[in-house]
């Protein structure tokens, strides 16, 4: 994900994007893999970021959860062609809500929960068809948004319910971004890209100190999460060795 800041350069104030990559290992540990300040968010810059991660030793990625930035999927597939991609459900909902009248928004939102909370992909498609019958004529673009991107929206259905909640949205990294904003909110303009990177790096050190085995809630979910991660990764490796497309 990206956070946008203002940076002074040659007497001008320019917009900069801080590109943040947060990963979760197969053991369930979170880590901040990269913080890089660059131009406004583009898929071309992300391509460079992903290549940098690979050159630094990231050998494989099972699963990406991303927003709907144009070209982002192509950038991921160019560097990690076997990785699965999940479009953030929250971003998808926001995109659909743009086409829905405010008076219908609450009902439309409630109906859509049946799609992403469905027990499996087949049930989710059935629920989407039900919503299309109810709302499709009134809000066709709100529904087609999901139909056209279903391949990337539905990836998380292959995993158990315990782990889906950390896979179908970018909430984990957006929570990290909120921590960054708390630290940087008093600084309206940074004197340089380097100054911004240093502040984010120092903030990251404080944030990561608080992280434990980090994707669960402390209620025993952690062990389930880790088991699912490891099982999914092992299955992925076996399929790749056998030459089976994921």
The pLDDT tens digits of the residues spanning 97-107 come to 999 999 999 99
The pLDDT of residue 231 is 57
Q: What is the pLDDT of residue 105?
A: 94
Q: Are 68 and 130 in contact (CB under 8 A)?
A: no
| Res 213: pLDDT | 46
Distance (Å, whole) CA 108 – CA 237:
40
State the DSSP H helix or E strand holding residue 174, giving kind and residue range, or none if neither. helix 171-184
* pLDDT score for 125: 95
List, for residues 178-204, the tens digit of each pLDDT value: 999 999 988 899 999 999 999 999 999
CB 162 within 8 A of CB 181: no
**Of the ranges 41-50, 138-147, 155-164, which one carries the lowest mean pLDDT score?**
155-164
Q: What's the confidence (pLDDT) of residue 212?
A: 61
Mean confidence (pLDDT) of the chain: 83
Q: 241 pLDDT band (50/70/90 cuts)?
A: low
Amino acid 230: pLDDT: 58
The phi and psi torsions of 103 (rounded to 5 degrees) equal: -65, -25
**What integer is the mean pLDDT of 118-123?**
92
At residue 114, does pLDDT exceed 90?
Answer: yes
pLDDT interval class at 232 (50, 70, 90): low
Looking only at Cα atoms, what is the longest distance across the chain? 57
Give Cβ neighbours of residue 29 (< 8 Å, ≥ 6 apart): 211, 213, 214
């Amino acid at each position: 994900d990206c956070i946008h800041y203002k940076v002074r350069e040659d007497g001008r104030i320019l917009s900069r994007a801080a590109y943040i990559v947060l990963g979760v290992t197969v053991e369930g540990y979170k880590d901040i893999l990269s913080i890089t300040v660059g131009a406004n968010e583009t898929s071309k810059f992300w391509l460079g970021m992903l290549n940098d991660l690979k050159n630094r030793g990231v050998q494989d990625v099972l699963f990406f959860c991303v927003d709907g930035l144009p070209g982002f999927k192509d950038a991921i597939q160019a560097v990690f062609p076997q990785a699965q991609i999940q479009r953030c459900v929250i971003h998808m909902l926001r995109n659909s809500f743009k086409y829905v009248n405010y008076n219908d928004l609450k009902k439309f939102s409630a109906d859509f929960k049946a799609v992403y909370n469905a027990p499996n992909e087949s049930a989710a498609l059935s629920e989407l068809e039900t919503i299309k019958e109810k709302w499709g004529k009134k809000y066709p673009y709100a529904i087609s948004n999901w139909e056209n991107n279903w391949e990337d929206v539905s990836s998380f259905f292959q995993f158990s319910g315990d782990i889906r909640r950390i896979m179908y949205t970018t909430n984990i990294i957006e929570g990290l971004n909120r921590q960054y904003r708390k630290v940087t909110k008093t600084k309206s303009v940074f004197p340089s890209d380097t100054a911004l990177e240093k502040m984010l790096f120092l903030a990251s050190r404080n944030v990561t100190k608080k992280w434990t085995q980090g994707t669960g809630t402390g209620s025993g979910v952690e062990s389930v999460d880790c088991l699912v991660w490891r099982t999914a990764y092992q299955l992925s490796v076996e399929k790749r060795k056998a030459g089976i497309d994921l």
